[in-house]
Chain A
Amino acid sequence: MTPPLLEIRSATKIFASGITRRRTTVALDDFSLTIPGEPATITTLAGESGSGKTTLANLVLGFLQPTRGQILYKGRDIARMSRQEWLTYRREVQAIFQDPYEVYNPIYKVDHIFRVIINKFQLARGQAETQELMESSLRVVGLEPGEILGKYPHQLSGGQRQRVMLARAFLLKPRLIVADEPISMLDASLRAMVLDTMMKLKQEFGIAFLYITHDLSTAYQISDHLFILYRGSIAEHGPATVVIKVPKHPYTQLLVQSIPIPNPQRRWKGVINIPVETELGSTAVVGCKFADRCPYVMERCRQAAPPLMAVDTEQQAACYLYAPQQAAAL
Chain B
Amino acid sequence: MADVMKPILDVRDLRVYYHTSRGPIKAVDGISFSVHRGERFGLVGESGCGKSTTAMALLRLIREPGQIEDGQAHLDGLDIFKLHGEELRKVRWNQISLIPQGAMNSLNPVMRVQEQLADIITIHEGRQPARELRRRIATLLATVGLPARVANLYPHELSGGMKQRVCIAMAIALHPRLIIADELTSALDVVVQRVVIQTLLQVQEQLGTSLILIGHDMGLQAQLVDRLAVMYAGHIAEIGDVGDIFADPLHPYTQLLISSVPTIEEKKHLQAIPGLPPTLLNPPPGCLFQPRCPYAVQRCRVETPLPREVRPGRWVACHLR
Contacts and interface: CB of A to CB of B under 8 A. Distances in A.
B69 interface: no
5 contacts: A196-B272, A216-B264, A258-B194, A263-B222, A280-B162
A271 B145 CA distance: 12
B108 interface: no
B273 A189 contact: yes
Contacts of B122: none
**B interface, size bucket:** 35 or more
Contact of A268 (B217, B223, B242): B223
Given A255-B190, A280-B157, A264 B260 contact: no
Interface string B160-191: 01100000000000000000000000000111
B262 A263 contact: no
A261 to B, nearest CB: 6
Interface string B237-261: 0000011001000000000111011
Given A188-B46, A195-B270, A276 B222 contact: no
Contacts of B284: none
Interface of B: 46-47, 145-147, 157-159, 161-162, 189-195, 198, 216-220, 222-223, 242-243, 246, 256-258, 260-265, 267-268, 270-273, 276
Interface stretch (A74-82, A90-98, A117-125, A217-225): A217-225
Interface string A268-296: 10011110100111000000000000000
A190 B264 contact: no
Interface string A230-261: 00000000000100110000000011111111
A262 B270 CA distance: 13
A291 to B, nearest CB: 16
A241 B264 CA distance: 9
Interface string A202-218: 00000000000011111
A157 interface: yes
Contacts, number: 133
Given A157-B276, A264-B243, 17 more contacts: A188-B261, A191-B262, A217-B261, A220-B262, A221-B267, A244-B264, A254-B191, A255-B191, A260-B194, A260-B222, A262-B219, A262-B258, A267-B222, A272-B191, A272-B195, A272-B198, A280-B162
A191 B270 contact: yes
A192 interface: yes
Nearest to B276: A157
Nearest to A188: B260
A217 B191 contact: no
A249 to B, nearest CB: 13
Contact of B264 (A196, A220, A279): A220
B270 A196 contact: yes
A265 interface: yes
Given A188-B46, A256-B264, A262 B191 contact: no
Contacts of A195: 262, 270
Contacts of B271: 192
A172 interface: no
Nearest to A274: B195
Given A48-B189, A195-B270, A221-B267, A262 B47 contact: no
B195 A265 contact: no
Contact of B146 (A187, A190, A276): A276
Nearest to A254: B191
A192 B273 CA distance: 8
A263 B243 CA distance: 8
Contacts of A188: 46, 216-218, 257, 260-261
Closest 9 CB pairs of A and B: A260-B219, A192-B272, A192-B270, A189-B273, A48-B189, A187-B46, A217-B262, A258-B194, A193-B272
A22 interface: no
B135 to A, nearest CB: 20
Contacts of A196: 270, 272
Nearest to A156: B276
A259 B219 contact: yes
A266 interface: yes
Contacts of A215: 262
Contacts of B242: 264
Given A216-B190, A255-B191, A261-B263, A279 B162 contact: yes
A105 interface: no
Contacts of B217: 188, 260
Nearest to B45: A187
B46 A262 contact: no
Contacts of B262: 191-192, 195, 215, 217-218, 220-221
Contacts of B272: 189-193, 196
A243 to B, nearest CB: 10
A34 interface: no
Nearest to A268: B223
A49 interface: yes
B223 A267 contact: yes
B129 to A, nearest CB: 28
Contacts of A262: 218-219, 222, 246, 258, 261, 263
B219 A261 contact: yes
B222 A274 contact: no
